[in-house]
């Protein structure tokens, strides 16, 4: 189909851009030891994405349910490290920062990335297709192993759990989505997620304040945290 054709071409172009990125990094006009560190870090972090995807695929096929820690590990590998840790750390290497700063930025990237993904999960359930660019209830119909799903199944009565298991992983109606939406506050799952978001925000701000950077740059990082927490809300 034409839809499939466009998707396949997009994947091919993504692969091409991926390989070209290594060429660009290899041509950086920086000391050789820094270039080596940048290329090594870039390769390692992209490999983590692949292993995170493997973990995600495994959880989608396994008969046992992933733990909350398992889910957060996938979030870290597939979202946090690639989207936030990688650019922060590469910038730090190019700026010739100390190992301590590299470590602090790594932790900061993980915290912001987890926060970003949790908000993404919330938008997948409560957001509109116009806001997210994805059909409503995508995480539900795909049976994605999110923290929302984890706590919904964990806190439901046997009857409710059976009902949810008949919703997740199947074509969903608006009524199905509404049922899931209504259960989240009813089971106080929104409070659990909000608490986790607040914890990640606090850890992020604490790390930012510790960084030996200008007040202007600290404000920029704080703005990034605020954007990730409040986007489209």
Sequential DSSP letters for the chain: -HHHHHHHHHHHHHHHHHHHHHHHHHT--S-HHHHHHHHHHHHHHHHHHHHHHHHHHHHHH-SSPPPHHHHHHHHIIIIIIIIIIHHHHHHHHHTT--HHHHHHHHHHHHHHHHHHHHHHHHHHHHS-HHHHSS-TTHHHHTT---HHHHHHHHHS-HHHHHHHHTTTTS---HHHHHHHHHHHHHTTHHHHHHHHHHHHHHHHHHHHHHS-S-HHHHHHHHHHHHHHHHTT-
Dihedral pair phi/psi, residue 163, rounded to 5° = -65, -45
Coil, helix or strand for 233?
coil
d(CA 144, CA 121): 10
Q: What pLDDT was estimated at residue 208?
A: 97
**What pLDDT is stored for residue 136 in this prediction?**
79
For residue 134, the model assigns a pLDDT of: 77
Q: Which residues of the chain have pLDDT under 50?
A: none
Decide: 30 and 40 in contact? Cβ < 8 Å: no
pLDDT of residue 1: 64
Q: Which H helix or E strand runs over 145?
A: none
Q: Would the CA dihedral through 152, 156, 161, 163 be positive or negative? A: negative
pLDDT of residue 79: 93
The torsion of the CA quartet 27, 28, 32, 33, rounded to 10 degrees, works out to -130
Rg over CA atoms, the chain? 20
Q: What is the pLDDT of residue 200?
A: 97
The three-point CA angle 158-161-167 to 5° equals: 150
User: What confidence score (pLDDT) does residue 133 get?
Assistant: 74
Note the pTM of the prediction, 2 decimals.
0.89
pLDDT at residue 63, rounded to an integer = 84
d(CA 227, CA 229): 5
Q: Centre a 10 Å sphere on the Cβ of residue 194 and count the other Cβ atoms it contains.
A: 13
Q: Rounded to whole angstroms, how far apart are CA atoms 137 and 78? A: 20
């Amino acid at each position: 189909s034409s839809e499939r054709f466009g998707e396949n071409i997009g994947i091919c172009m993504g692969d091409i851009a991926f390989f070209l990125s290594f060429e660009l990094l290899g041509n950086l006009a920086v000391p050789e030891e820094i270039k080596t560190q940048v290329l090594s870090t870039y390769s390692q972090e992209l490999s983590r994405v692949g292993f995170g995807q493997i973990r995600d695929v495994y959880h989608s096929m396994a008969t046992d349910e992933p733990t909350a820690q398992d889910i957060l590990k996938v979030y870290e590998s597939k979202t946090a490290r690639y989207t936030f840790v990688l650019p922060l750390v590469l910038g730090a290497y190019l700026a010739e920062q100390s190992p301590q700063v590299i470590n602090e930025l790594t932790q900061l990237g993980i915290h912001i990335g987890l926060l970003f993904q949790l908000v993404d999960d919330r938008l997948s359930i409560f957001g509109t297709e116009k806001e997210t660019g994805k059909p409503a209830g995508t995480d539900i119909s795909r049976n994605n192993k999110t923290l929302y799903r984890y706590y919904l199944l964990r806190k439901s009565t046997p009857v409710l759990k059976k009902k949810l298991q008949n919703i997740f992983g199947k074509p969903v109606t608006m009524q199905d989505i509404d049922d899931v939406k209504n259960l989240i506050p009813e089971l106080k799952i929104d409070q659990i997620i909000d608490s986790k978001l607040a914890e990640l925000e606090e850890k992020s701000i604490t790390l930012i304040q510790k960084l030996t950077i200008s007040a202007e740059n600290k404000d920029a990082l704080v703005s990034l945290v605020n954007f990730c927490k409040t986007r489209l809300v």
